[in-house]
Structure 1
Amino acid sequence: MVTVDDIPVSRVEWKGAVRIIRSAFPPIDLFEDIADPADWPLLISAEQKSNPRVTASVGNLDLVPIERRVGGHGASYLMAPFTHVSPDRPSRFTDGTFGVLYVGNAFETALFETIHHHERFMARTAEEAGWTSQFREIILSVHADLHDLRGPRRRSHPALARDDYNASQELGKRLKGGASDGVVYPSARHAGGECAGLFYPDCASALVQGRHLDYRWDGERVDLVRNAGSGEVFRVVDLPDHPTSS
């Protein structure tokens, strides 16, 4: 049994936190609208009469309590992780039955976290080497009271296992059921970095789209990252540090 009694809650206020997502996911019109989130079900019902694909776009809105929904510019990137869930897409703190919004406290942390998971995906596809994937950087602010797994006393917590997510998923389920806003924890992919797994979209705000990034797959790993705007290329080194410009 994963216990939560010994995990303290800390106020986390991060400005300039970073989330990196696939560019293939476009903004969702409903979430970007200025309409009151409480009115969204009525708007969806009306829109479905002329656009039957709207439900697939929005996802399962019932997974987010009305009082915790967010709307307006950039809201797609906050809402979508919670309305588009699947047991086929588990992650560290969820078995896929509920959503978690993951962010890093710095660009390098978010970069190395996404590179790790992208490498695992690409290894299963047997895709040929090349510039195969495009991502976008989302810069945002985090403001939430989170269960805190940081610090030397919690370094050996089973939820921080590098690649085994059984304990962390059980912890996430217990915390979500106990009305937690989420978890803050040390990054397993970037030494010194910190990550947050948020259980509700209103735990973050002030979204700004940053750089567009290209990842190069060499057949075994992501070896290069390119800033699609400037053309600058960075080599990804094996050490859990920031990439060095090439």
Structure 2
Amino acid sequence: MSNAAADFEEIDVDGNYHVLIPSRFPPIDIFARIANGQDDAFFELESLTNPRLKEKRQILNGADAVDGNSPLVQNWNHAPFAYPNPDGTYFFGPDLSALELASDLATALAISVARRERFLGDTSEPATGLDMRALSRTVRGRFADLRSLDPTTPGEQRRRLGQRVFEAGLDGIVFRSADRGAGLCVSILRIETLGKAVQGEHFRFNWNGTCIDVIYDFRTGKKIYPDELRANPELAA
């Protein structure tokens, strides 16, 4: 149906969505290199200034019904809302936190490759391997349908649309990926729309000093080539 407050359609979202995050494989404790067996003391000190842990305490203290294992307080879910992104996101500036997820793993990989290439290129990093972990979770809510929006729409125009969606009180936006036209994404404004994040496949991105030329899938042993991933809508990771 048409939204009275802004010129876009609304749709109900109910599905599984994906993202890639940096990973250590195998995982290690965050303070393992410096704590010398005093991990608890380091955790206590760090918690005094950590905005994610502060928000988590506020959520748990503010509502007795909130389970400590709830998706609301899972680190992977509420950290994106606790730590503002200084660059903002596709539709929102740094003053409004949003979590962006992809509708399929292939699109999530293409997006992650593009972002890592921009960062590594900007910092002139030498050739290296990056270990990345896939996360998935369900998303349920009422979203603005901007799938028809041209992915090359200028940032200023996208931000104006995002502000209108926020003012309309919707849970976020469904849109087409600028990094893989065959894929859809969601930009999420409300943590309440998220199910619990689940760890999935583990990948290594091979940065050759200029671009990420190949992705290794640790589970299958297969190689995935970013150019093919972006160009082939049928290619699945």
Q: Flag whether TM exceeds 0.5 (same fold).
A: yes
**d(CA) in 2 for partners of 1:113 and 1:186?**
11
Is the Cα contact below 8 Å between 2:6 and 2:165 reproduced in 1? no
Shift in CA distance, 56/128, structure 1 to aligned 2, threshold 3 Å: same
- Structure 1 distance, partners of 2:213, 2:233, is 13
Question: Residues 70 and 109 (structure 1 numbering): CA distance in 2 closer, same or farther, change over 3 Å?
Answer: farther
Matched, 1:137 2:134: yes
Map 1:211-230; keep pairs closer than 5 Å. 211-230=201-220
Aligned to 2:80: 81
1:167 aligns to what SS in structure 2?
helix
Distance 1:100 1:215, change over 3 A: same
What is the match of residue 46 of structure 2? 53
Question: Whole-Å Cα distance in 1 between the matches of residues 135 and 158 of structure 2?
Answer: 25
CA distance in 1 between counterparts of 2:96 and 2:143 reads 17
1:99, CA displacement in angstroms?
Answer: 1.5
Letter in 1 for 2:169: A
Percent of aligned positions that are identical: 21
Cα distance in 2 for partners of 1:5, 1:212 equals 40
Structure 1 residue 232, shift from structure 2 partner: 2.8
Could you tell me whether the CA contact under 8 Å between 1:85 and 1:96 is conserved in 2? yes
- Structure 2 vs 1, CA of residues 165 and 196 (structure 1 numbering), >3 Å: closer, same or farther? same
Segments of 5+ residues of structure 1 without an aligned counterpart are 28-46
Instruction: Say which SS state the counterpart of residue 11 (structure 1) adopts.
Output: strand
- Letter in structure 2 aligned against 1:141: T
- Residues 141 and 171 of structure 2 are in contact (CA less than 8 Å); yes or no, is this contact kept in structure 1? yes
Aligned mate of 1:241, from 217, 222, 232: 232
Cα distance, 1:166–1:100 mapped onto 2, change above 3 Å: same
Alignment of 1:145-184 (within 5 A): 145-150=142-147, 154-156=148-150, 160-161=151-152, 164-184=154-174
Q: Does 1:18 align with 2:18?
A: yes
Moved more, 112-121 or 234-243: 234-243
Note the C-alpha offset of 1:70.
Answer: 8.0
Alignment match, 1:94 = 92
TM-score, normalisation: structure 2: 0.76
The code of the aligned residue for 2:89 comes to S
Q: Distance in 2 between matches of 1:176 and 1:205?
A: 21
List gaps (5 residues or longer) in structure 2: 29-39
Amino acid at match of 2:176: P
Give the 3 Å change call, closer, same or farther, for CA 221–244 of structure 1 in structure 2.
farther
Instruction: For residues 80-124 of structure 1, give each alpha carbon's deviation from its aligned partner in whole angstroms, at most 9, with x where no partner exists.
Output: 1000114x2322122112211111110011111111111111111
Give 1:10 shift. Answer: 0.3
Q: Please tell me whether the aligned partners of residues 101 and 199 of structure 1 are also in contact (alpha carbons under 8 angstroms).
A: yes
Q: Is 1:188 equivalent to 2:181 in the alignment?
A: no
Q: Deviations over 1:45-70 (max 9, x none)?
A: xx99x8121132626629x9868x88
Three-state SS of the structure 1 residue aligned to 2:158 is: helix
Which residue, out of 120, 123, 128, partners 1:122?
120
Tell me how far apart the structure 1 counterparts of residues 131 and 15 of structure 2 sit (CA, whole Å): 26
SS of 2:132's equivalent in the other structure is strand
Number of the residue aligned with 1:43: none
